[in-house]
């Protein structure tokens, strides 16, 4: 019954590796997002997709590449991981424009640790 599910929940990897985080939502939402929460607990938007189309692309290194195979999935691939990429990554979904009674629905997060 999980509405927005992310895998894996924890990811520990070495610098220079390439890794992916997967996100799936079963809410029928058209819009999906990736947010990053750093060690100071600030939540910052990275990307937003609406119906598989990239809508928001904040100032994110091009080592980060989102991919949306369909509107229920938004994966995040990270190349050449760096120490500064260590953070908690949250996936979220919403009706178009973030509207709707329930606003955004967030996943439980993926804690990425780069060593």
Partner 1 sequence: DAKTTQPPSMDCAEGRAANLPCNHSTISGNEYVYWYRQIHSQGPQYIIHGLKNNETNEMASLIITEDRKSSTLILPHATLRDTAVYYCIVSSAGGTSYGKLTFGQGTILTVHP
Out of 76, 94, 112, 114, point to the residue binding partner 1 (CB under 8 A): 94
| Residue span binding partner 1 (CB under 8 A) among the ranges 16-24, 37-45, 60-68, 72-80 | 37-45
Q: Quote the DSSP letter at residue 80.
A: S
Separation in Å, CA 75 to CA 6, 32, 40, 101, 102 = 9, 10, 24, 25, 23
User: Among residues 80, 78, 77, 85, which one has the least CA distance to residue 113?
Assistant: 85
Interface of this chain with partner 1, residues 48 to 87, rule: CB under 8 A? 48, 50, 55-56
Which residues are at the interface with partner 1 (CB under 8 A)? 4, 31, 35, 41-45, 48, 50, 55-56, 90, 92, 94, 96-99, 102-109
């Amino acid at each position: 019954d999980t509405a927005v599910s992310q895998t894996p929940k924890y990811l520990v990897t070495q610098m220079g590796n390439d890794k992916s985080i997967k996100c799936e939502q079963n809410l029928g939402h058209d819009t999906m997002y990736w947010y990053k929460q750093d060690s100071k607990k600030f939540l910052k938007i990275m990307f937003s997709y609406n119906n598989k189309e990239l809508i928001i692309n904040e100032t994110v290194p091009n080592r980060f590449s989102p991919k949306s195979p369909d509107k229920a999935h938004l994966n995040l691939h990270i190349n050449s991981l760096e120490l500064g990429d260590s953070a908690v990554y949250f996936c979220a979904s919403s009706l178009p424009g973030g509207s709707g009674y329930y606003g955004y629905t967030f996943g439980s997060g993926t804690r990425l640790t780069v060593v």
